[in-house]
Homo-oligomer: A and B are copies of this chain.
């Protein structure tokens, strides 16, 4: 791509660094900003700058929050004995949208992935272990992605929790895996379908 302006080229290069945005899309976005008035660019850059500079994380669950303790952790009506372990904030939002969960969360900040250079120490596992040992947590629900990385992380977290926990019994569970509701059986992949047969549950009467 040959640009008639260094300023454009530089802007396109920076925008194209974002995940899933190629150079053609980056150019389209940059030209859009040029067509709109100055305020659009200012609002965008200020929002991003403020976010990056002022962002804080909940001291307890590591979720992104404007306060030291996030709204979920601070809510006395949530079940303080259940902690759901997820990868990032998007998973919190997805689970909150189901309205089926009323416990607390613990954001790991990723999954173990040697390919991407993410090791166990890059995740918030130690603080999870501390939370479980110091507070009256009775169940930890692992809600990680059903991928190799997610499974490895789940195994590691389980091991660490089992090693640390000495007092009351702790239930460690994993969210159910199987054919998606509304999905057509013939389109389910073999591994999912095979597992969903092995992990069958009693039919409701």
Write the residues of chain A forming the contact surface with B, with a CB cutoff of 8 angstroms.
1-8, 10-11, 13-15, 17-21, 25, 27-34, 38, 40-45, 47-55, 58, 63-66, 70-72, 88-90, 92-93, 96-97
CB distance A4 to B43 under 8 Å?
no
In the complex with contacts A10-B47, A13-B47, A64-B8, A93-B38 CB distance below 8 A: no
Within the assembled complex, what's the spacing in Å between the Cα atoms of A106 and B81?
68
Min distance, Cβ A46 to any Cβ of chain B, angstroms: 8
Residue of B with least CB distance to A70: B4
CB distance B17 to A44 under 8 Å?
yes
CB distance A71 to B17 under 8 Å?
no
In the complex with contacts A50-B7, A89-B4, A43-B31 CB distance below 8 A: no
In the complex with contacts A4-B71, A38-B52, A64-B8, A90-B44 CB distance below 8 A: no
In the complex with contacts A33-B48, A52-B34, A19-B11 CB distance below 8 A: no
Min distance, Cβ A96 to any Cβ of chain B, angstroms: 6
A51 CB contacts on chain B under 8 angstroms: 7-8, 10-11, 30, 33-34, 41
Min distance, Cβ A19 to any Cβ of chain B, angstroms: 5
8 A–B contacts from the bound complex (CB under 8 Å):
A1-B93, A2-B93, A4-B63, A7-B50, A7-B54, A15-B44, A30-B48, A38-B53
A97 CB contacts on chain B under 8 angstroms: 2
Q: Which of A27, A52, A90: most chain B CB closer than 10 A?
A: A52
A70 CB contacts on chain B under 8 angstroms: 4
Within the assembled complex, what's the spacing in Å between the Cα atoms of A5 and B4?
40
A19 CB contacts on chain B under 8 angstroms: 28-29, 32
A41 CB contacts on chain B under 8 angstroms: 48-49, 51-52
Min distance, Cβ A7 to any Cβ of chain B, angstroms: 5
Residue of B with least CB distance to A63: B4
A27 CB contacts on chain B under 8 angstroms: 90
A29 CB contacts on chain B under 8 angstroms: 18-19, 21
